[in-house]
Chains A and B, each alone.
Chain A
């Protein structure tokens, strides 16, 4: 086998394997970091929020079977969010934002709720204990 071809093959093969491993070790380090520093906080906040929303859903005057989407989960960690949707299914699940017309929003302050609704053309229907039900503002759709 000519030396050049052999060298070229070794070079790209080793480069690919080395680059791939370095990249994955970085991903692994970030995962561990996230696990140590953030996960616990997100987990406990998520658990509290989930319980809060479930009791909110049962006490609110709305028929949640018409709802298609839940939004505003803190942290925006995708897996938490999907797990939340999953926990609420089948009543509160949809394919994507575009089809949603009702939302459950979690908010820190009345001002943040107001600005979020203004930015996203949402109309608040009901709010209690840091949570709100909103729907797309008909004037904008």
Chain B
């Protein structure tokens, strides 16, 4: 119980660091309080994993005292700077319905998580938690790259394991509560983030998008499963809503924040690197260059951090092997693309997973295309399109058995951009928006 409480405290410390850091960076800019509140945990947890990674890199194992001292020092510094910011974030005016929806999301999540408090799915253990365990217990963290642990994908980035390790360090011992709290917090923050960002388009947009998102069984199920897909979806959504803030308010600092979140997503899952590329491409095509440059400026530091990790560990990716790619013929690639589409078509028809979310998007895209796909916001669906085209490309080129890969991973990839699509469609839908 005490360990669980301390694990929660560790995430609160990270959230406070994230809140102060964002507020200090965005000083004097127009900033809805609720948006800042839901962006803070992601930013703070990334800073925590950033600090722990450097501890690992230079000392090969993490010192509890050093990690806690570094966090507290950073918090005190940022708090001092925060108190000097001139303008307070705007008060939250989201109302009772907003918090009722968040409470409903919390209840649904708890129902799923109490049944499986340790998480479900082999990857949760075989990839993320086993890495966290080795980092926490092993005399040298590089044990995670031992040949015996090849199945845990050594090339996968370390945000999730380090976030667990941070809670264990704070608690003083390994506790299952850390992963539970992390999954719970990231899922709720993602719902809150979508709603807080949608609230700028009207209260109805906020609560319809929130209700819609939490009504999707697959979304709540993935949140409770403790996989890393909801955390990566959180960073994708944070990048998109921050860029939307930048473009609406003509404020390049929000574009830098957007770039930072996009860059951070690369340290959560490899898909984040693809997202960064897709995001840059769509912004280059449909927005002013200054926003693209500001975004790239904000993202490059975080992206460089991920690239540094990749180069220093030098582990090949199991999905793509050059020798297997070179053997592929054009016919094979086309046939694989057909398989990907057929699995996708089957997936969107699973109403037990997605309810009727995809028909809702279909109706909006077909019957409201003029209102939805205006030039001002076309960069959002385009980013999602490029991202998913990238996933399809990887499926077409993978050396692994394609149907098996699609069966185990397609639904998880689809959930990663689902909150962004929810935000996009339900803030653009005229009926929802005309509140």
User: Which A residues are closer than 8 A to B by beta carbons?
Assistant: 1, 5-6, 8-10, 12-13, 15-21, 23-24, 27-28, 30-32, 34-35, 78-80, 82-83, 85-86, 89-90, 93-96
Which listed residue, B115, B130, B148, touches A34 by the CB 8 Å rule?
A: B115
State in angstroms the CA–CA spacing of A85 and B215 once bound together.
33
Report if B389 contacts A (CB, 8 A): no
Report if B359 contacts A (CB, 8 A): yes
Shortest A130–chain B CB gap in Å is: 24
Which listed residue, A9, A18, A90, touches B431 by the CB 8 Å rule?
A: A9
User: What B residues does A13 contact at CB under 8 A?
Assistant: 208, 212, 360, 432
Report if B330 contacts A (CB, 8 A): no
A20 touches B217 (CB 8 A): yes
State in angstroms the CA–CA spacing of A96 and B130 once bound together.
15
- Closest residue on chain B to residue A30 by CB atoms: B115
Tier of interface size on chain B: 35 or more
State in angstroms the CA–CA spacing of A133 and B130 once bound together.
24
With A5-B368, A16-B359, A19-B351: A86-B133 Cβ-Cβ less than 8 Å: yes
0 or 1 for each of B154-178: is its CB under 8 Å from A? (1 = yes): 0000000000000000000000100
A35 touches B115 (CB 8 A): yes
User: Which B residues are closer than 8 A to A by beta carbons?
Assistant: 107-108, 111-112, 114-122, 124-126, 129-130, 133-134, 148-149, 151, 176, 208, 211-212, 215-217, 220-221, 351-352, 355-357, 359-360, 363-364, 367-368, 429-432
User: What B residues does A80 contact at CB under 8 A?
Assistant: 118
Q: Could you pull out 5 A-B pairs where Cβ atoms are within 8 angstroms?
A: A13-B212, A19-B215, A19-B356, A27-B111, A78-B121
B115 touches A12 (CB 8 A): no
- Which residue, of B108, B118, B363, has the highest number of chain A Cβ atoms within 10 A? B118
B116 touches A16 (CB 8 A): no
User: What B residues does A16 contact at CB under 8 A?
Assistant: 212, 215, 355-357, 359-360
State in angstroms the CA–CA spacing of A16 and B218 once bound together.
13
- Closest residue on chain A to residue B211 by CB atoms: A17
Which listed residue, A9, A20, A23, A85, touches B429 by the CB 8 Å rule?
A: A9
B111 touches A28 (CB 8 A): yes
- Which residue, of B117, B130, B351, B355, has the highest number of chain A Cβ atoms within 10 A? B355
With A20-B216, A31-B111: A8-B151 Cβ-Cβ less than 8 Å: no
Q: Do most interface residues of chain B lie in helix, strand or loop, or is the interface mixed?
A: helix
Which listed residue, B108, B121, B151, B216, touches A28 by the CB 8 Å rule?
A: B108
With A9-B368, A20-B355, A82-B118: A95-B125 Cβ-Cβ less than 8 Å: no
B212 touches A86 (CB 8 A): no
7 smallest beta-carbon distances between A and B, as pairs: A20-B215, A28-B111, A20-B355, A95-B151, A16-B356, A31-B115, A79-B116
Shortest B426–chain A CB gap in Å is: 9
- Which residue, of A15, A32, A95, has the highest number of chain B Cβ atoms within 10 A? A95
A95 touches B126 (CB 8 A): yes
Which listed residue, A8, A17, A32, A89, touches B215 by the CB 8 Å rule?
A: A17
State in angstroms the CA–CA spacing of A85 and B123 once bound together.
12
User: What A residues does B429 contact at CB under 8 A?
Assistant: 9
B111 touches A9 (CB 8 A): no
- New A-B contacts (14) at CB < 8 Å, excluding given A17-B215, A94-B151: A1-B430, A6-B431, A8-B367, A16-B355, A18-B215, A19-B356, A20-B216, A20-B217, A24-B108, A28-B111, A83-B125, A86-B130, A89-B133, A95-B126
